[in-house]
Structure 1
Amino acid sequence: MSNIATKLRLPNLKETQWQILAGPVLIMLILAMMVLPLPAFLLDLFFTFNIVLALMILMVAMFTQRTLEFAAFPTILLFSTLLRLALNVASTRIILMEGHTGSAAAGHVVEAFGHFLVGGNFAIGIVVFIILVIINFMVITKGAGRIAEVGARFTLDGMPGKQMAIDADLNAGLIGEEEAKRRRTEVTQESDFYGSMDGASKFVRGDAIAGILILVIEMVGGLLVGMLSHGMPFGQAGETYVLLAIGDGLVAQIPALIISTAAGVIVTRVSNEQSVGEQMFTQLFSNPRVMVLAAGVIGLLGLIPGMPNFVFLLFTGGLLGLAWWLRGADGKGRTSSGTAADGQTEKDPIKQESLQASEATWQDVQFEDMLGLEVGYRLIPMVDGAQSGELLGRIRGIRKKFAQDMGFLPPVVHIRDNLDLTPTHYRILMKGVEIGSGETQPERWMAINPGNAVGSLEGEPCQEPAFGLEAVWIDEVLREQAQTQGYTVVDASTVMATHLNHLIAMNASDLFGRQETQQLLDRITKDMPKLIEDLIPGTVSLTVLHKVLQNLLAERVSIRDMRSIIEALAEHAPGQTDPDELTALVRVKLGRAITHQWFPGSGELQVIGLDVGLERILIQAAQSGSGLEPGIAENLMIQTERALQRQEAMGAPPVLLVNHILRMMLSRFLRRAMPQLVVMSNMEIANHRPIRMSSIVGGQ
C-alpha cells in the first residue's frame, strides 16, 4: 500500500521539483551565454525562444482579469531582460569573431532581421532601430513606469483604509477569519506588486539604453575588426558588420517592445471580471451613437475633393453597418426579454423583480446573533472603519485576549446602528436580549474615581457602566488635572470596550455552545488524536463534555488546560456520568491553576472560612438532601455578604474556602446574590500554600 501511495505522489513531487529548479536553471543558462561562445544554431533557438516568451507574456497580460493573477510579472520582466542582454553579449561575440564569413555568421534569425525586414539597407535599419527604441523608451516604458509609480503610491496610501475596512467587515460578521486573512494578504501583495513594478520598469528603460550602446559598439567594433584584422575595405566592412548589428538590435528590441507593452497593459488595467480585450471591446463598441457620429465625421472628410475618398467612404459604410448591427442586437435583446416564446407579453422585469421580492422565502428568516452591539448615530464614527473607528480594533483585541485567557474564541460581535436609541446610547445584546447598556460621549473623557481620588472635577457626573463606579465626563483640557487628582481617565471607546469585555467574561458559559465545543474538540484532536478517539464519544458524550466545560466557565475557570480536563474525564468518566460531579473532579485536577488564578505567587492565602458548627450543619444538610432551613439560609447569606465586604476592603480576593462536599451547593446558593464571590474546595488548594482565615462566616 505504501508503494502505491509513493507512486501516486511521485508525479506531483517531480512536478514541484521541476518548478523549483526552473529559476536557477535559467540563471545558469544566462550566465553561460555571457561567458561561453555559442554556435549560430543555438543563437537561432534562443532568439526564437525570446520572441515566443515575449508573446506569451503579452497574451497572459491580456487575458488576466485581476492584476494579482500575474503577480510574478516583475520577476519575469527581470529574467527576460537578463536573457536579452545575455543574447546581445553572445551575438556580439560571434559577430565580431565570425562576421567576415558572411551575413549568416550570427544565425539565420539575425540575418533575416538584418536583410528581410529592412531590405538589406543598413541606413533604413538604423532608422527603424532608433524609432523602435524611442517608442519603447520614451512612450511605453516611461508611461508604464509613471503609472506604476503613482499606483504604488496610492496603493500604499490606501492600505490603512483597506485594512480597517477588512477589520470592520470581520467585526460586523460579514466575513470570517479566513476571508479576512485572505483579503489582508491580497492588500499586502497588491502593494508589493506595484512597488516592484515601479522598480521593474527601470529594467526596460535600461535595456533600451543598453540596446543603443550595444548597437554603436557592434558597428564601430565590426568596422575596426573587419578593416584591421581581416583587411576588408571600409564599404564592405560597413555593409557586413552594420547589417549584422542592425539585425542583432532588431531581434532584441522587438521582444523588448512587446514586453514593455505587456507591462503597460498590466499597470493600466482596471480590475474587474473581464479581461483587457473584453473591457476594450464592450466599452468601446457598446454605444451605437458613437459609431454614427464617427461615421458622419469620416464621411464628410471623404466627400472633400483630394482626400482618399474610397478609403474614407469605406470606413463610413463599415461604421454605419456596425451601428445598425449593435442597435438591432440591443433591440432584439429588449424584445426577447419582454416577450415570451408564444408571443404573449411577459411582465415588466422591474415589476417582476419587485413581485418576487415581496414573496416570503427562507432567506427572510433571520437568526439572532450571539453577540450584538447597537449604537446611536453619534457613536457611528467609533465603529466605522472608514472613519478610523478605534472601537473595532479594541473589540478584536478583546476577543483575542479572551481566547488566550479562557481557552475558546467568543462569537463575533455584530455591530449595527439603531435610530431608536438616543444619539450617545449603546446596547449590548446576547442572543437578541439586552445584557447591558450605557451612554458615552465621543468627544469627552470619562474620569473614573477608583475610590481614592481627591477633589472634584467640573463635568457631567455619571456612572462607569461595567463596574458601577462613580465617574465624571470631562473635557480634554481637564484630563491631566484629573489624572493628578487620582482619577482614572479613559476615552469613550475604552468605556464601551471595557463594558463589553466585562459582559463577555460574566456570560462566558452562555456564549460557549455546542458549536464552540465541537470546534474546540476539533482543535484538541490535532494534538491528542488517540486520547480523544478513545474518550469521545465512546466514554463521554459531546453533551456531557459541553456541560462540564460550561460549569467551569460559569465560575470563571479557564479551560485552556484541556489536557488536564481530558485526563480527568478519562480517569473518572467510566464510573461517573453526572456532569456536576465530573465538574467537581475536574476542578480538583485544575486546583493548581485555580489557586494561582486568585492567589498568584507562593504566599499566604487570605480566604473567607466557615465556622465549624455551621460547617457541620451544612454537611448534614448536604448529605441528607433536605436543603437549608430558611433561618440558616438567611443568616448564611447576610454573614457571607458582610465577610465579602471585609475581604474587598482588605484588598484580598473574594474567595470562600469550604469543605469539598459543600462547594457545589454553596456556590449555587451564594453566587446568585453575589456573582463576584468565588467558592473553592479545600481539595483544590495546593498542600504547600499556607492558609489564613481573614473572615469567618457563622462565628459569634
Structure 2
Amino acid sequence: MKKLFNNAVAFFVILIIALVVIPLPTQLLDVMFILNITLSLMVLLLTMYVHTALDFSVFPSILLIATLFRLALNISSTRQILTNNGYGGEVIKTFGSFVLQGNIVVGFIVFLIIVLVNFLVITKGAERVSEVAARFRLDAMPGKQMAIDADLNSGLIDEKQARERRADVQREAEFYGAMDGASKFVKGDAIMAIVVTFINLIAGIIIGMVQGGKSFDEVLNIYTIASVGDGLVSQVPALLISTATGMIVTRAASNSTLGKDVAGQFVSQPIVIIIAGFALLAMCLIPGMPILQVLVLSGLMLALGFTILRRHKAEELQLAPAAGEAAGSAAENEVEYYKNIDNIYNLLPLDAIEMDFGYSLIPLVDERSGSSFIERLVMFRKQFAIEMGMVVPAVRLRDSASLNPNQYVIKIKGEEVARGEILMDYYLALDPGNLTGEIDGIDTIEPAYGIPSKWITPDKKDLAEIYGYTVIDPLSVVITHLSETVRKHACELLSRQDVSQILENLKKYNEPLVNDVVPGIISQANLQKVLCCLLKEGVPIRDMETILETISNHATVHDPEMLTEYVRQALRRTITRQWSEGGKIRVITLDSEVEKTIINSITKNEHGTYLALDPQMTQKIITKLSECIANVKDVISTPIILTSPVVRLYFSKLLQQFYPKAVVLSFNELENNVQIQAVANIAVD
C-alpha cells in the first residue's frame, strides 16, 4: 500500500498526458472535473493552514501538475463538445446553465468578468509577488549565511543547527525561485482558458450550422452553454490555484496558521473594531443608505468590540489583585524571614554572572512570553565547553527599575563589566564594510564587537540584507554580547571548585595522572593560576591531560607563569589551529634590537621576574605598534605579534594595558608546517 501511494503521483502524471490523446466518455469526464475542483480546493486550504511556505515546498510541482490536469481536461471536453452536438457532460451543462440563467448575453459577460478577474488581478498579482520574493530571497542569501556563521562562531548554535539553518536558507531560495517560474504556468493557463472558450464557441457555431443544419439561434444557445460551462469548470479550479499561489508567496514569517494569525491580530485591538462600528453607524446620515442593514452591521461590530474590550480589562483586573496580594504577603514574610540572622548570611554570596534588564526587555528573556533565551544560553554553554574546556556558571537574570527600559547590564561577581541597549521591535543591521547601498535606521554601535550598526524596522530587513548588511534579531544581539563578555572574563570565572570538578572528571579517564600531579607536583591553587593564565589569553584548557603531563615534565619549575609558557608550547597544535587560516598565519614581528632591549630589561627579585623597561622606550614601542596595526588592519582583524619564547610573556604583559585584544605568540607555540607571513615589523630607531 505504501509503495502504491509513493508511485501515485507518477501514475497520475502519466494519466494526465494520456487524457490529451485518449477520448473520455462524458461520465468519466464529469468525475475528472469534480476531482479537479476538489484537488484545487485542498491546495488552497493547505496554503492557509501551513505555518511557513517551506511547509508546502512541493507547491511549485503541484502547480504544474494541476495546470496540466486542467489543460488535459480542456482538450477532452472540447473534443466532446465539438463531436457530441455541444454536450460535454452534466458538470459542464450545469455550470453553463447556472451562470447564463436563460440570458446568453448577460451570462457570457459574467463569465468574461470571472476570467478577467482571475487573469488581470489574482494571477498577475501572484506572478509579480513571486518575482519580487524570488529576487529578495536570492539576494538575501549571503547576508543570512553570514548571520548563521556569526551565530556558529559565537557559540549560539552548534554545527548541526548551522547545517539545518543553511539548508533552510537554500530550500527557501530554491522554493521562491521555483515559484517565480511556476507562476508563469498560472498565467498561461488563464490565457488558454479564454482561447479554448472562444474556440469552443466559434467552432461549435460553425460545426452546428454547417454539419448539423441547425439555425443560428439554436447553435448559439447550445454552444454558448457548453462553452461557458467548460470555461467555468476550468476557471473555478484555476481561480482556486491562483489564489493559493498568491496566498503562499505573501505569507510572512509566522508561528501559526493564517486563520489564527488573522483572528489573533484583529482581536488584539478591540478599539479598532469599535471605531469601525461607529464609522459604519455614521453612514446612516447619507441619504438613501439602507438604514436597517447598516444598523445591523454596526451593532454587530460595536457589540463584538466592547465584548473583547471588557474581556481584556477583566483579565488585567484579575492579574492586578493577585500581584498586589503577592506583594503584600511577600513584604510581611520578608520581615519574618530576616529575623533569623542566618538567613541574612545567605545574601552575602555573589553570583558569578548576572544580567539586569530594563522592564521593556523582560519579554526578551521570559520563557512564558515564548522567549528562547534559556535555550540559546544552554547552547552557548555547551559550545563554550567544547571550545575552551570550561563550563560557564549559571547566569542570574533580574529586572532592574534603575535601568532605562531598553537597557541591560552584564555583571561579573556583582560588578558591572558591560552594558547595552536594545530596541525590541527592531533588527540590528551590522555594516561589514562592503555595503552596496544605505538604509534608513537609528545609528548605533553593536555592543559586542563595536561595529557601526543601525536599528531598522522589520519591513526593511530583506532590503538591508540585499545591501550587504548582516541583520541580527535583538535576542541574538544580547546572547552575542554575553558570550563575548564571558570569553573576555573567563579567567575570573574559573573558580577553585571548577578546577576540582575538572580534575574529578579527568579521573574517570586518567586517574593515575591526576593522582601523580595534583597535589604532589602542583597544588590546586597553582594549577588554577596556570589555567587562568591560559584562559586570559584565550587558550583552551580542554586538553587537561597534556597540561598535567607538561607540568609533570617540568616538576622543578614552581612559578605558575613560567609553567604556563611551557604548557602553551605543549599546546602549540591547538594554538596554531586557533590563529592560523588555511595553513597560513599573518603576524607582526619584533625587531631583534627591540627584543634585546626587552631581554636586558628583565629584572629578577625574590618575588619573581618582571619587566623594568624605560618609559620612553615603552612609548616608542607602543607608538610603532600602533602604526603597524593601523597599516595592516585590512589584512588581519586581530593583531598577532610573533616574538621569541623568552620575550613573549613580558611583551604580552606590556600590551595588556594598551591592546588587550592583541595576541602575542612565540615561535615555539606554532607548528612547523604552518606558513608564517610577516606583514609588519616593529623596529625602534
TM-score (norm 2): 0.54
Alignment of 1:356-371 (within 5 A): 369-371=385-387
Alignment of 1:284-683 (within 5 A): 284-339=266-321, 345-347=325-327, 369-371=385-387, 386-388=430-432, 416-417=484-485, 427-431=537-541, 448=589, 473=628, 491-493=635-637
Give the whole-Å Cα distance in 2 for the aligned partners of 1:555 and 1:420: 23
The partner residue of 1:128 within 93, 110, 117 is: 110
Give the whole-Å Cα distance in 1 for the aligned partners of 2:387 and 2:13: 56
Aligned match of 1:258 = 240
Give the whole-Å Cα distance in 2 for the aligned partners of 1:183 and 1:498: 38
| Structure 2 stretches lacking a partner, 5+ long | 331-358, 367-373, 390-416, 419-427, 435-448, 450-481, 491-534, 548-563, 569-574, 580-585, 593-618, 644-667, 674-685
The partner residue of 2:56 within 70, 78, 85 is: 70
The partner residue of 2:263 within 281, 287, 296 is: 281
Alignment of 1:682-697 (within 5 A): none
Aligned match of 1:594 = none
> What amino acid does structure 1 have at the position aligned with 2:288?
G
Give the whole-Å Cα distance in 2 for the aligned partners of 1:89 and 1:244: 14
Q: For 1:366-404, what per-residue CA distance to the aligned partner results, in whole angstroms no more than 9, with x for missing partners?
A: 78735359xx99xxxxxx9955499x9xxxxxxxxxxxx
> What amino acid does structure 1 have at the position aligned with 2:19?
M
* Residues 497 and 302 of structure 1: CA distance in aligned 2, closer, same or farther (over 3 Å): farther
Give the whole-Å Cα distance in 1 for the aligned partners of 2:6 and 2:433: 44
Q: For 1:96-152, what per-residue CA distance to the aligned partner results, in whole angstroms no more than 9, with x for missing partners?
A: 00025xxxx211110110102331433233212211121111111111111111111
Q: For 1:300-331, what per-residue CA distance to the aligned partner results, in whole angstroms no more than 9, with x for missing partners?
A: 11133321111111111111101111111111
Give the whole-Å Cα distance in 1 for the aligned partners of 2:209 and 2:8: 43
Higher RCO by CA contacts (8 Å cutoff, separation 6 or greater): 2
* Residues 462 and 344 of structure 1: CA distance in aligned 2, closer, same or farther (over 3 Å): closer
Helix, strand or coil at the partner of 1:146: helix
Give the whole-Å Cα distance in 2 for the aligned partners of 1:223 and 1:319: 53
Q: CA deviation at 1:179?
A: 0.9
1:236 aligned onto 2:218: yes
Give the whole-Å Cα distance in 2 for the aligned partners of 1:344 and 1:449: 67
Helix, strand or coil at the partner of 2:155: coil
Q: Is the 8 A contact 2:589 2:641 kept in 1?
A: no
Q: Is the 8 A contact 2:51 2:256 kept in 1?
A: yes
Percent identity, please. Answer: 36
Aligned match of 1:180 = 162
Q: Is the 8 A contact 1:369 1:431 kept in 2?
A: no
1:165 aligned onto 2:165: no
Q: Is the 8 A contact 2:193 2:235 kept in 1?
A: yes
Q: For 1:237-284, what per-residue CA distance to the aligned partner results, in whole angstroms no more than 9, with x for missing partners?
A: 111112101100011101111111111111111121111111112222
Give the whole-Å Cα distance in 2 for the aligned partners of 1:49 and 1:497: 74
Give the whole-Å Cα distance in 2 for the aligned partners of 1:99 and 1:63: 44
1:206 aligned onto 2:168: no
1:55 aligned onto 2:41: yes
Q: CA deviation at 1:449?
A: 8.2
The partner residue of 1:43 within 29, 34, 40 is: 29
Q: Is the 8 A contact 1:446 1:490 kept in 2?
A: no
Aligned match of 1:191 = 173
| Structure 1 stretches lacking a partner, 5+ long | 1-13, 378-383, 393-413, 452-459, 464-469, 480-488, 500-553, 558-596, 599-700
Q: CA deviation at 1:64?
A: 0.7
Q: For 1:610-642, what per-residue CA distance to the aligned partner results, in whole angstroms no more than 9, with x for missing partners?
A: xxxxxxxxxxxxxxxxxxxxxxxxxxxxxxxxx
Q: CA deviation at 1:494?
A: 7.2
Alignment of 1:91-130 (within 5 A): 91-99=77-85, 105-130=87-112
Aligned match of 2:467 = none
Q: CA deviation at 1:337?
A: 2.8
Give the whole-Å Cα distance in 2 for the aligned partners of 1:306 and 1:227: 51
* Residues 40 and 120 of structure 1: CA distance in aligned 2, closer, same or farther (over 3 Å): farther
Q: For 1:649-696, what per-residue CA distance to the aligned partner results, in whole angstroms no more than 9, with x for missing partners?
A: xxxxxxxxxxxxxxxxxxxxxxxxxxxxxxxxxxxxxxxxxxxxxxxx
Give the whole-Å Cα distance in 1 for the aligned partners of 2:212 and 2:100: 26
* Residues 497 and 266 of structure 1: CA distance in aligned 2, closer, same or farther (over 3 Å): farther
Q: Is the 8 A contact 1:30 1:86 kept in 2?
A: yes
* Residues 426 and 166 of structure 1: CA distance in aligned 2, closer, same or farther (over 3 Å): farther
* Residues 461 and 48 of structure 1: CA distance in aligned 2, closer, same or farther (over 3 Å): farther
Give the whole-Å Cα distance in 2 for the aligned partners of 1:346 and 1:267: 48
Q: CA deviation at 1:490?
A: 8.7
* Residues 427 and 491 of structure 1: CA distance in aligned 2, closer, same or farther (over 3 Å): farther
Q: CA deviation at 1:415?
A: 6.0
Residue correspondences, number: 422
Q: For 1:502-552, what per-residue CA distance to the aligned partner results, in whole angstroms no more than 9, with x for missing partners?
A: xxxxxxxxxxxxxxxxxxxxxxxxxxxxxxxxxxxxxxxxxxxxxxxxxxx
